[in-house]
Amino acid sequence: MSAALGALMARGTALLGSEVAIICGAMSWVSERNLVSAVSNAGGFGLIACGAMTPELLDKEIAATKALTSKPFGVNLITMHPQLMDLIAVCAKHGVTHIVLAGGLPPKGSIEAIKASGAKVICFAPALSLAKKLVRSGVDALIIEGMEAGGHIGPVATSVLAQEILPELASEVPIFVAGGIGRGEVIASYLKMGAAGVQLGTRFVCATESIAHPDFKKAFIRANARDAIASVQIDPRLPVIPVRALKNVGTEAFTAKQREVAQMLDEGKVDMMAAQLEIEHYWAGALRRAVIDGDVENGSLMAGQSVGMVSREEPVAAILAELVAQAETALEAS
Ligand SMILES: Cc1cc2nc3c(=O)[nH]c(=O)nc-3n(C[C@H](O)[C@H](O)[C@H](O)COP(=O)(O)O)c2cc1C
């Protein structure tokens, strides 16, 4: 890596313990032992997506990942998981060095429990006010993710979040920018704005080492940016977090699912928390059907707008090398 890029990434690499400050964002079903170890072995930073896994399954996944890499990697936990504290304990048992908390503000005691285990805690900050609050709660780093990203998304674009949050907080805590990143030039520009590094998901789905079904990968390679659309909320009472995915038959099925859950809510069969969990379980199942079974018609093809820049299957090392080379060239030219 060039001295200029190394200097801009220094805070990120120091925090992560990796060679480059590029995180492969956790992707449910995709970010398992093979992709995570491949990313970390190639000098990036891999994250296991715990998703809806039980503590027993997470235990096995961490052990299997450790068998494939001696480099640092982290675990992404969803704050809504009913066994969050048990999952933190599993990570602590394995000496996991970094935990990312995703999907809402961390519940009371979770940040403290992670810190007590010696691990670093990284949280998603959807807005400046929340970012400041998280910094006060003692998080070690933040991820700011814009609505261009694949999977669950917030309402604000990456470019706007970066302008709002980096100038205010980049000097206080390392910040990683995510959402819509497909090339190294934009990585260089976020680093120059004060980011410590970046997180990419969509670009890594078609890595040779990713276990995603060949048909899932083909759909990514074929797709253009405009095919990755955000889901529509059909009932204002049911605050469904939008999901960005490639449009297919499953997109329509989600509309029907929302109606079904809204009706259950009306009839008092479920409370709001249970209704939201029902929706999250739906996504986990739909994503599994597409990623693992290859049902690209009915399953969920979660993808970010950067999918238009995914043009072939290639090893993780090649993806990282290309991103680094593009960032270096951009810095030389500036
Ligand atoms: C297929 C897929 C599944 C994802 N699953 C998760 C997840 O389980 N937890 C999470 O925090 N983020 C998840 N994400 C978001 C990624 O970790 C990452 O932040 C995002 O992909 C970055 O934006 P990009 O897609 O534009 O690169 C997922 C993204 C994709 C494409």
DSSP symbols for 123-141: EE-SSHHHHHHHHHTT-SE
Mean per-residue pLDDT, 220-234? 95
Rounded to the nearest angstrom, the distance between the alpha carbon of 266 and the centre of ligand 1 is 32
> What was the pLDDT predicted at 237?
78
pLDDT value at residue 240: 81
pLDDT tens column, 17-27: 999 999 999 99
Query: Within the chain, how many helices (H) and strands (E) appear?
Result: 13, 12
Query: Is residue 274 over pLDDT 90?
Result: no
At 120 the pLDDT is 98
Start-to-end CA distance of the chain, whole Å, equals 17
Q: How far is the CA of 47 from the centre of ligand 1 (A)?
A: 11
Third-level CATH fold of 3-211+309-333: TIM Barrel (3.20.20)
Per-domain residue ranges for the chain? 3-211+309-333, 214-305
Question: In percent, how much of the chain has pLDDT > 90?
Answer: 84
What's the rounded Cα separation, in Å, for the pair 297 and 315? 26
Mean pLDDT of the chain: 96
Q: How confident is the model at residue 279 (pLDDT cuts 50, 70, 90)?
A: confident
SS3 at position 151:
strand
Res. 104: pLDDT tops 90? no
pLDDT of res. 191: 98
Assess whether the C-beta atom of 28 lies below 6 angstroms from ligand 1: yes
Residue 101 beta carbon below 6 angstroms from any ligand 1 atom: no
Structure confidence at residue 284 as a pLDDT band (50, 70, 90): confident
Q: How many CA atoms lie within 13 A of 265 on its CB side?
A: 20
Is residue 199 classed as helix, strand or coil in its secondary structure? Answer: strand
**Centroid of ligand 1 to alpha carbon of 238 (angstroms):** 23
Q: Where are the beta strands (DSSP E) in the chain?
A: 22-24, 45-49, 73-78, 98-102, 120-124, 141-145, 151-152, 175-178, 197-200, 228-230, 243-246, 301-302
